[in-house]
Structure 1
Amino acid sequence: MPVRAADTSAPPQHHSGSNSGHTSPPPFTLLSVGQGFSGTQNVSGLQKDEAWRVNVRIQGCDLEHGYLCGTMEALNVPMADTPVVTFWEGEIVDTKNYTFFTEKWEATQDDDIRHWTKFPSFAALLNQVEVDGGKSLDLSNYPYIFMRWKEQYFVNVGTDCGLTIAGFYYVCFSCSDGSINGFYYDPNSSPFQKLELKSTNEGRLGFSFSSYELR
Protein backbone atom coordinates (compact mmCIF):
# COMPACT_ATOMS: atom_id res chain seq x y z
CA MET A 1 0.00 0.00 0.00
CA PRO A 2 2.41 2.72 -1.11
CA VAL A 3 1.75 6.44 -1.13
CA ARG A 4 -0.52 7.32 -4.00
CA ALA A 5 1.87 8.51 -6.63
CA ALA A 6 1.47 11.97 -7.83
CA ASP A 7 4.72 12.76 -8.30
CA THR A 8 22.07 -19.48 -5.61
CA SER A 9 19.26 -21.43 -5.24
CA ALA A 10 18.97 -25.13 -5.96
CA PRO A 11 17.63 -26.03 -9.42
CA PRO A 12 13.94 -26.88 -9.65
CA GLN A 13 13.03 -30.30 -8.34
CA HIS A 14 11.27 -32.97 -10.39
CA HIS A 15 9.01 -35.80 -9.33
CA SER A 16 11.72 -38.30 -10.21
CA GLY A 17 14.11 -36.75 -7.70
CA SER A 18 14.58 -37.74 -4.08
CA ASN A 19 14.92 -35.40 -1.15
CA SER A 20 15.95 -37.76 1.62
CA GLY A 21 17.50 -36.22 4.72
CA HIS A 22 15.79 -32.88 4.21
CA THR A 23 14.77 -31.59 7.63
CA SER A 24 13.07 -28.30 6.74
CA PRO A 25 9.42 -27.96 7.69
CA PRO A 26 6.83 -28.93 5.08
CA PRO A 27 6.66 -26.14 2.48
CA PHE A 28 3.24 -24.80 3.41
CA THR A 29 3.52 -25.14 7.20
CA LEU A 30 4.11 -21.42 7.64
CA LEU A 31 1.46 -20.46 5.08
CA SER A 32 -1.43 -21.76 7.14
CA VAL A 33 -4.35 -19.75 8.47
CA GLY A 34 -3.42 -17.59 11.45
CA GLN A 35 0.28 -17.42 10.70
CA GLY A 36 1.74 -13.95 11.19
CA PHE A 37 4.65 -12.14 9.59
CA SER A 38 6.23 -8.82 10.46
CA GLY A 39 8.82 -6.55 8.91
CA THR A 40 9.04 -3.47 6.73
CA GLN A 41 8.07 -2.06 3.38
CA ASN A 42 10.45 0.41 1.81
CA VAL A 43 8.39 3.18 0.25
CA SER A 44 11.28 5.47 -0.62
CA GLY A 45 10.83 7.82 -3.51
CA LEU A 46 13.03 10.30 -5.29
CA GLN A 47 12.45 12.89 -2.60
CA LYS A 48 12.88 10.89 0.60
CA ASP A 49 13.93 7.62 2.20
CA GLU A 50 11.13 5.97 4.13
CA ALA A 51 10.11 2.55 5.45
CA TRP A 52 6.89 1.47 7.14
CA ARG A 53 6.56 -1.26 9.73
CA VAL A 54 4.23 -3.93 8.38
CA ASN A 55 2.33 -6.88 9.86
CA VAL A 56 0.72 -9.57 7.71
CA ARG A 57 -1.73 -12.23 8.85
CA ILE A 58 -2.94 -15.13 6.68
CA GLN A 59 -6.72 -15.41 6.94
CA GLY A 60 -7.45 -18.13 4.37
CA CYS A 61 -5.61 -20.72 2.30
CA ASP A 62 -6.79 -23.11 -0.42
CA LEU A 63 -3.77 -24.88 -1.82
CA GLU A 64 -5.77 -26.98 -4.26
CA HIS A 65 -6.74 -23.81 -6.10
CA GLY A 66 -3.51 -21.90 -5.47
CA TYR A 67 -5.29 -19.32 -3.34
CA LEU A 68 -4.59 -17.53 -0.09
CA CYS A 69 -5.73 -14.29 1.50
CA GLY A 70 -4.93 -12.14 4.48
CA THR A 71 -4.59 -8.71 6.02
CA MET A 72 -1.71 -6.26 5.82
CA GLU A 73 -1.26 -3.63 8.50
CA ALA A 74 1.05 -0.62 8.00
CA LEU A 75 1.90 0.91 11.37
CA ASN A 76 3.72 4.21 10.89
CA VAL A 77 2.10 5.76 7.83
CA PRO A 78 2.81 9.52 8.09
CA MET A 79 -0.53 10.72 6.68
CA ALA A 80 -2.66 8.34 8.77
CA ASP A 81 -3.74 8.77 12.41
CA THR A 82 -4.07 5.01 12.93
CA PRO A 83 -2.46 1.88 11.43
CA VAL A 84 -3.80 1.27 7.92
CA VAL A 85 -5.16 -2.22 7.27
CA THR A 86 -5.90 -3.73 3.87
CA PHE A 87 -7.34 -7.08 2.81
CA TRP A 88 -5.42 -8.92 0.08
CA GLU A 89 -5.90 -12.03 -2.02
CA GLY A 90 -3.01 -14.07 -3.33
CA GLU A 91 -2.18 -16.36 -6.23
CA ILE A 92 0.32 -19.16 -5.59
CA VAL A 93 2.47 -19.87 -8.65
CA ASP A 94 2.00 -23.63 -8.77
CA THR A 95 2.07 -23.94 -12.63
CA LYS A 96 -1.36 -25.59 -12.41
CA ASN A 97 -3.61 -22.73 -11.34
CA TYR A 98 -1.18 -19.87 -11.93
CA THR A 99 2.06 -19.39 -13.85
CA PHE A 100 4.74 -16.71 -13.52
CA PHE A 101 2.95 -14.59 -16.13
CA THR A 102 0.41 -12.30 -14.47
CA GLU A 103 -1.64 -11.42 -17.57
CA LYS A 104 -3.64 -8.69 -15.76
CA TRP A 105 -3.27 -5.69 -13.46
CA GLU A 106 -1.40 -3.79 -16.19
CA ALA A 107 1.61 -6.12 -15.91
CA THR A 108 3.26 -7.28 -19.12
CA GLN A 109 5.43 -10.39 -19.42
CA ASP A 110 8.45 -8.08 -19.46
CA ASP A 111 7.26 -6.56 -16.17
CA ASP A 112 6.88 -10.06 -14.75
CA ILE A 113 10.40 -11.12 -15.74
CA ARG A 114 11.85 -7.83 -14.50
CA HIS A 115 10.35 -8.34 -11.05
CA TRP A 116 10.82 -12.09 -10.65
CA THR A 117 14.51 -11.82 -11.54
CA LYS A 118 15.01 -9.57 -8.52
CA PHE A 119 14.69 -12.73 -6.41
CA PRO A 120 17.99 -14.71 -6.47
CA SER A 121 15.98 -17.90 -5.95
CA PHE A 122 14.28 -17.38 -9.31
CA ALA A 123 17.50 -17.59 -11.35
CA ALA A 124 17.30 -21.36 -11.85
CA LEU A 125 13.79 -21.01 -13.29
CA LEU A 126 14.30 -18.09 -15.65
CA ASN A 127 15.02 -19.93 -18.89
CA GLN A 128 11.92 -22.09 -18.71
CA VAL A 129 9.71 -19.24 -17.55
CA GLU A 130 10.75 -17.21 -20.58
CA VAL A 131 9.54 -20.09 -22.77
CA ASP A 132 6.10 -20.79 -21.32
CA GLY A 133 5.65 -18.89 -18.08
CA GLY A 134 6.90 -21.94 -16.18
CA LYS A 135 3.99 -24.23 -17.11
CA SER A 136 6.31 -27.20 -17.60
CA LEU A 137 8.18 -26.72 -14.33
CA ASP A 138 7.62 -28.97 -11.33
CA LEU A 139 7.84 -26.71 -8.27
CA SER A 140 6.48 -29.22 -5.75
CA ASN A 141 9.86 -29.64 -4.03
CA TYR A 142 11.34 -26.27 -4.79
CA PRO A 143 12.59 -24.55 -1.59
CA TYR A 144 10.80 -21.30 -2.46
CA ILE A 145 7.17 -20.50 -3.17
CA PHE A 146 6.34 -17.63 -5.51
CA MET A 147 3.10 -15.69 -5.23
CA ARG A 148 1.28 -12.52 -6.20
CA TRP A 149 -0.61 -10.55 -3.55
CA LYS A 150 -3.30 -8.11 -4.65
CA GLU A 151 -4.81 -5.76 -2.08
CA GLN A 152 -8.57 -5.63 -2.59
CA TYR A 153 -9.79 -2.94 -0.20
CA PHE A 154 -9.02 -0.82 2.84
CA VAL A 155 -10.41 -2.37 6.02
CA ASN A 156 -10.36 0.53 8.47
CA VAL A 157 -9.84 3.74 6.46
CA GLY A 158 -11.43 5.37 3.45
CA THR A 159 -10.04 5.48 -0.07
CA ASP A 160 -9.15 9.13 0.53
CA CYS A 161 -6.39 8.16 2.98
CA GLY A 162 -3.63 9.15 0.55
CA LEU A 163 -2.58 5.58 -0.21
CA THR A 164 -3.12 3.43 -3.26
CA ILE A 165 -3.81 -0.28 -3.66
CA ALA A 166 -3.94 -0.17 -7.43
CA GLY A 167 -0.86 -2.35 -7.81
CA PHE A 168 0.18 -5.75 -6.50
CA TYR A 169 3.14 -7.55 -4.93
CA TYR A 170 5.46 -10.11 -6.48
CA VAL A 171 6.26 -12.33 -3.49
CA CYS A 172 8.86 -14.99 -2.70
CA PHE A 173 8.43 -17.19 0.39
CA SER A 174 11.32 -19.25 1.78
CA CYS A 175 10.18 -22.70 2.89
CA SER A 176 13.25 -23.10 5.11
CA ASP A 177 12.88 -20.10 7.40
CA GLY A 178 9.46 -18.64 6.63
CA SER A 179 10.82 -15.32 5.43
CA ILE A 180 9.03 -13.31 2.75
CA ASN A 181 10.42 -10.84 0.26
CA GLY A 182 8.30 -8.91 -2.17
CA PHE A 183 8.35 -6.08 -4.69
CA TYR A 184 5.39 -3.80 -5.33
CA TYR A 185 4.35 -3.13 -8.92
CA ASP A 186 2.23 -0.17 -9.93
CA PRO A 187 3.10 1.89 -13.02
CA ASN A 188 2.04 5.03 -11.11
CA SER A 189 4.08 4.41 -7.95
CA SER A 190 7.79 4.33 -7.15
CA PRO A 191 9.22 1.14 -8.68
CA PHE A 192 10.46 -1.91 -6.78
CA GLN A 193 9.26 -0.93 -3.32
CA LYS A 194 10.58 -3.84 -1.26
CA LEU A 195 8.60 -5.82 1.31
CA GLU A 196 10.67 -7.79 3.86
CA LEU A 197 8.90 -9.99 6.41
CA LYS A 198 9.82 -12.72 8.89
CA SER A 199 7.43 -15.27 10.35
CA THR A 200 6.31 -14.73 13.93
CA ASN A 201 4.93 -17.07 16.56
CA GLU A 202 2.08 -14.86 17.66
CA GLY A 203 -0.47 -16.63 15.48
CA ARG A 204 0.29 -19.91 17.20
CA LEU A 205 -0.19 -18.26 20.60
CA GLY A 206 -3.56 -16.73 19.96
CA PHE A 207 -2.37 -13.22 19.09
CA SER A 208 -4.43 -11.28 16.59
CA PHE A 209 -4.59 -7.77 15.20
CA SER A 210 -7.06 -5.33 16.63
CA SER A 211 -10.59 -6.38 15.73
CA TYR A 212 -11.42 -5.42 12.16
CA GLU A 213 -14.53 -6.73 10.48
CA LEU A 214 -13.76 -7.94 6.96
CA ARG A 215 -16.61 -7.26 4.58
Structure 2
Amino acid sequence: MPGQAIPPPCSFLQVGQAFTGIQNVSNSQKEEAWKVNVRLQGCDIQHGYLCGSMEALNVPSAETPVVTFWEGQIVDNRNYTFFTGQWDASPDTDVKHWSKFSSFLPLSDTVERDGGRSLDLATYPSIFMRWKEKFFVNVGADCGLTIAGFYYVCFSRNNGAVQGFYYDPNSSPFQKLDLKATNEGRAGASFASYQFQ
Protein backbone atom coordinates (compact mmCIF):
# COMPACT_ATOMS: atom_id res chain seq x y z
CA MET A 1 0.00 0.00 0.00
CA PRO A 2 1.50 3.37 -0.91
CA GLY A 3 2.17 5.79 1.91
CA GLN A 4 3.01 3.16 4.51
CA ALA A 5 6.48 3.44 6.02
CA ILE A 6 8.96 0.58 5.88
CA PRO A 7 9.48 -0.87 9.38
CA PRO A 8 12.88 -0.07 10.87
CA PRO A 9 15.33 -2.95 11.18
CA CYS A 10 14.86 -5.25 14.16
CA SER A 11 17.89 -6.96 15.65
CA PHE A 12 15.89 -10.18 16.10
CA LEU A 13 14.83 -10.33 12.44
CA GLN A 14 18.22 -11.20 11.00
CA VAL A 15 19.35 -14.15 8.91
CA GLY A 16 20.71 -16.81 11.26
CA GLN A 17 18.63 -15.74 14.28
CA ALA A 18 17.41 -18.80 16.18
CA PHE A 19 14.33 -19.26 18.33
CA THR A 20 13.42 -22.15 20.60
CA GLY A 21 10.30 -23.14 22.49
CA ILE A 22 7.18 -25.30 22.47
CA GLN A 23 4.22 -25.99 20.22
CA ASN A 24 1.19 -27.17 22.16
CA VAL A 25 -0.79 -29.56 19.94
CA SER A 26 -3.18 -30.82 22.63
CA ASN A 27 -6.78 -31.56 21.81
CA SER A 28 -9.74 -33.04 23.68
CA GLN A 29 -8.29 -36.57 23.38
CA LYS A 30 -4.67 -35.93 24.37
CA GLU A 31 -2.18 -33.55 25.97
CA GLU A 32 0.83 -33.10 23.71
CA ALA A 33 3.59 -30.54 23.22
CA TRP A 34 6.64 -30.59 20.97
CA LYS A 35 9.94 -28.83 21.43
CA VAL A 36 10.46 -26.54 18.43
CA ASN A 37 13.52 -24.78 17.01
CA VAL A 38 13.25 -22.12 14.32
CA ARG A 39 16.02 -20.44 12.36
CA LEU A 40 15.61 -17.49 9.98
CA GLN A 41 17.16 -18.26 6.60
CA GLY A 42 16.10 -15.09 4.79
CA CYS A 43 14.57 -11.73 5.63
CA ASP A 44 13.55 -8.90 3.28
CA ILE A 45 11.67 -6.31 5.36
CA GLN A 46 11.11 -4.01 2.39
CA HIS A 47 9.11 -6.69 0.58
CA GLY A 48 7.49 -8.10 3.75
CA TYR A 49 9.14 -11.50 3.27
CA LEU A 50 11.02 -13.91 5.48
CA CYS A 51 11.75 -17.62 5.43
CA GLY A 52 13.33 -20.22 7.62
CA SER A 53 13.39 -23.74 8.94
CA MET A 54 11.32 -25.22 11.73
CA GLU A 55 12.45 -28.31 13.60
CA ALA A 56 9.89 -30.22 15.69
CA LEU A 57 11.36 -32.64 18.24
CA ASN A 58 9.69 -35.43 20.24
CA VAL A 59 6.89 -35.85 17.65
CA PRO A 60 5.33 -39.23 18.59
CA SER A 61 4.64 -40.29 15.00
CA ALA A 62 8.19 -39.54 13.78
CA GLU A 63 11.39 -41.42 14.54
CA THR A 64 13.58 -38.33 14.07
CA PRO A 65 13.06 -34.59 14.49
CA VAL A 66 10.88 -33.24 11.66
CA VAL A 67 12.29 -30.26 9.77
CA THR A 68 10.21 -28.09 7.45
CA PHE A 69 11.01 -25.05 5.33
CA TRP A 70 8.58 -22.14 5.66
CA GLU A 71 8.00 -18.76 4.03
CA GLY A 72 6.51 -15.82 5.85
CA GLN A 73 4.53 -12.67 5.13
CA ILE A 74 5.01 -9.60 7.31
CA VAL A 75 1.79 -7.64 7.82
CA ASP A 76 3.00 -4.14 6.93
CA ASN A 77 0.06 -2.75 4.90
CA ARG A 78 2.49 -2.27 2.02
CA ASN A 79 2.93 -5.86 0.91
CA TYR A 80 0.50 -7.77 3.11
CA THR A 81 -2.54 -6.89 5.22
CA PHE A 82 -4.20 -8.62 8.17
CA PHE A 83 -6.52 -10.43 5.75
CA THR A 84 -4.86 -13.59 4.44
CA GLY A 85 -6.96 -14.12 1.31
CA GLN A 86 -5.70 -17.70 0.79
CA TRP A 87 -5.12 -21.08 2.51
CA ASP A 88 -8.84 -21.38 3.35
CA ALA A 89 -8.70 -18.40 5.73
CA SER A 90 -11.74 -16.10 5.67
CA PRO A 91 -11.65 -12.55 7.09
CA ASP A 92 -13.60 -13.93 10.08
CA THR A 93 -10.95 -16.65 10.60
CA ASP A 94 -8.25 -13.98 10.39
CA VAL A 95 -9.85 -11.74 13.03
CA LYS A 96 -10.47 -14.71 15.37
CA HIS A 97 -6.82 -15.75 15.19
CA TRP A 98 -5.28 -12.27 15.36
CA SER A 99 -7.53 -11.53 18.37
CA LYS A 100 -5.73 -14.26 20.34
CA PHE A 101 -2.79 -11.82 20.63
CA SER A 102 -3.21 -9.14 23.30
CA SER A 103 -1.13 -6.68 21.25
CA PHE A 104 -3.66 -6.98 18.40
CA LEU A 105 -6.66 -5.95 20.50
CA PRO A 106 -6.03 -2.16 20.23
CA LEU A 107 -6.00 -2.60 16.42
CA SER A 108 -9.05 -4.85 16.21
CA ASP A 109 -11.73 -2.23 15.45
CA THR A 110 -9.67 -0.64 12.68
CA VAL A 111 -8.89 -4.03 11.13
CA GLU A 112 -12.56 -5.01 11.17
CA ARG A 113 -13.49 -1.64 9.65
CA ASP A 114 -10.95 -1.35 6.80
CA GLY A 115 -8.68 -4.38 7.05
CA GLY A 116 -6.24 -2.28 9.06
CA ARG A 117 -5.07 -0.50 5.91
CA SER A 118 -5.12 2.86 7.67
CA LEU A 119 -2.78 1.67 10.42
CA ASP A 120 0.90 2.60 10.37
CA LEU A 121 2.54 -0.55 11.69
CA ALA A 122 6.15 0.54 11.02
CA THR A 123 6.93 1.32 14.65
CA TYR A 124 4.28 -0.78 16.40
CA PRO A 125 5.92 -2.83 19.22
CA SER A 126 4.65 -6.08 17.67
CA ILE A 127 5.20 -7.37 14.16
CA PHE A 128 2.39 -9.55 12.84
CA MET A 129 3.22 -12.27 10.33
CA ARG A 130 2.02 -15.46 8.70
CA TRP A 131 4.35 -18.46 8.39
CA LYS A 132 3.45 -21.09 5.79
CA GLU A 133 5.37 -24.35 5.78
CA LYS A 134 6.22 -25.26 2.18
CA PHE A 135 7.87 -28.68 2.35
CA PHE A 136 9.44 -31.30 4.59
CA VAL A 137 13.24 -31.15 4.53
CA ASN A 138 14.36 -34.41 6.12
CA VAL A 139 11.32 -36.72 6.14
CA GLY A 140 8.60 -37.74 3.72
CA ALA A 141 5.05 -36.46 3.73
CA ASP A 142 4.07 -39.77 5.38
CA CYS A 143 5.70 -38.71 8.70
CA GLY A 144 2.29 -38.29 10.31
CA LEU A 145 2.29 -34.47 10.24
CA THR A 146 0.55 -32.07 7.93
CA ILE A 147 1.77 -28.75 6.58
CA ALA A 148 -1.54 -27.85 4.94
CA GLY A 149 -2.18 -24.95 7.33
CA PHE A 150 -0.20 -21.89 8.40
CA TYR A 151 0.72 -19.92 11.51
CA TYR A 152 -0.59 -16.55 12.60
CA VAL A 153 2.44 -15.05 14.34
CA CYS A 154 2.99 -12.12 16.69
CA PHE A 155 6.63 -11.13 17.12
CA SER A 156 7.93 -8.77 19.83
CA ARG A 157 10.42 -6.17 18.60
CA ASN A 158 11.59 -5.68 22.20
CA ASN A 159 12.72 -9.19 23.14
CA GLY A 160 12.25 -11.39 20.06
CA ALA A 161 9.49 -13.48 21.66
CA VAL A 162 7.27 -15.27 19.15
CA GLN A 163 3.70 -16.38 19.73
CA GLY A 164 1.78 -18.20 17.06
CA PHE A 165 -1.45 -20.06 16.42
CA TYR A 166 -1.66 -22.75 13.76
CA TYR A 167 -4.68 -22.68 11.46
CA ASP A 168 -5.77 -25.68 9.45
CA PRO A 169 -9.49 -26.48 9.28
CA ASN A 170 -8.58 -30.20 9.44
CA SER A 171 -6.33 -30.00 12.54
CA SER A 172 -6.83 -29.22 16.22
CA PRO A 173 -7.77 -25.52 16.44
CA PHE A 174 -5.48 -22.88 17.93
CA GLN A 175 -2.36 -25.01 18.39
CA LYS A 176 -0.11 -22.55 20.20
CA LEU A 177 3.52 -21.83 19.37
CA ASP A 178 5.68 -20.10 22.02
CA LEU A 179 9.29 -19.27 21.11
CA LYS A 180 12.09 -17.17 22.58
CA ALA A 181 15.02 -15.70 20.69
CA THR A 182 18.35 -17.35 21.47
CA ASN A 183 21.96 -16.33 21.01
CA GLU A 184 22.53 -19.39 18.85
CA GLY A 185 24.01 -18.48 15.50
CA ARG A 186 25.21 -15.15 16.86
CA ALA A 187 27.88 -16.82 18.99
CA GLY A 188 28.79 -19.46 16.45
CA ALA A 189 26.71 -22.37 17.78
CA SER A 190 23.68 -23.69 15.98
CA PHE A 191 21.41 -26.69 15.67
CA ALA A 192 21.80 -28.97 12.68
CA SER A 193 21.80 -27.20 9.33
CA TYR A 194 20.07 -28.43 6.20
CA GLN A 195 20.54 -27.52 2.58
CA PHE A 196 17.38 -26.60 0.67
CA GLN A 197 17.10 -27.41 -3.02
Cα deviation for residue 84 of structure 1 reads 0.4
Pick the aligned partner of 1:183 from 127, 152, 165. Answer: 165
Q: Does 1:169 align with 2:156?
A: no
Tell me the distance in 2 between the aligned counterparts of 1:27 and 1:111.
Answer: 30
1:43-78 CA distance string (max 9 Å, x none) = 001211010000000000011100000000001111
Contact 1:54-1:75 within 8 A present in 2 as well: yes
The answer for the alignment partner of 1:93 in structure 2 is 75
- Aligned-residue Cα RMSD (Å) equals 1.3
- Partner SS, residue 108 of structure 2: helix
The answer for the alignment partner of 2:196 in structure 1 is 214
Cα deviation for residue 27 of structure 1 reads 5.5
TM-score, normalising length from structure 1? 0.87
The answer for the alignment partner of 2:14 in structure 1 is 32
Instruction: Find the structure with the greater CA-based Rg.
Output: 1
Cα deviation for residue 132 of structure 1 reads 1.7
The answer for the alignment partner of 1:128 in structure 2 is 110
Structure 1 regions of 5+ residues with no counterpart? 1-13, 16-25
Tell me the distance in 2 between the aligned counterparts of 1:51 and 1:112.
Answer: 24
Q: Does 1:73 align with 2:58?
A: no
- Partner SS, residue 185 of structure 2: helix
Contact 1:88-1:149 within 8 A present in 2 as well: yes
Pick the aligned partner of 2:187 from 205, 209, 212. Answer: 205
Equivalent residues, number? 192
- Counting aligned pairs with the same residue, the percent is 69
Tell me the distance in 2 between the aligned counterparts of 1:212 and 1:119.
Answer: 32
Tell me the distance in 2 between the aligned counterparts of 1:81 and 1:60.
Answer: 28
Contact 1:27-1:175 within 8 A present in 2 as well: no
- Partner SS, residue 35 of structure 2: strand
The answer for the alignment partner of 2:175 in structure 1 is 193
Residue 143 of structure 2 aligns with an amino acid whose one-letter code is: C
Structure 2 regions of 5+ residues with no counterpart? none
The answer for the alignment partner of 2:36 in structure 1 is 54
Of the structure 1 ranges 143-152 and 130-139, higher mean CA displacement relative to structure 2 is found in 130-139
TM-score, normalising length from structure 2? 0.95
Tell me the distance in 1 between the aligned counterparts of 2:184 and 2:190.
Answer: 8
Tell me the distance in 2 between the aligned counterparts of 1:211 and 1:134.
Answer: 38
Q: Does 1:115 align with 2:109?
A: no
Runs of 4+ in 1 over 2 A off after TM superposition: none
Tell me the distance in 2 between the aligned counterparts of 1:143 and 1:77.
Answer: 33
The answer for the alignment partner of 1:4 in structure 2 is none
Tell me the distance in 2 between the aligned counterparts of 1:81 and 1:148.
Answer: 28
Tell me the distance in 1 between the aligned counterparts of 2:44 and 2:159.
Answer: 21
The answer for the alignment partner of 2:46 in structure 1 is 64
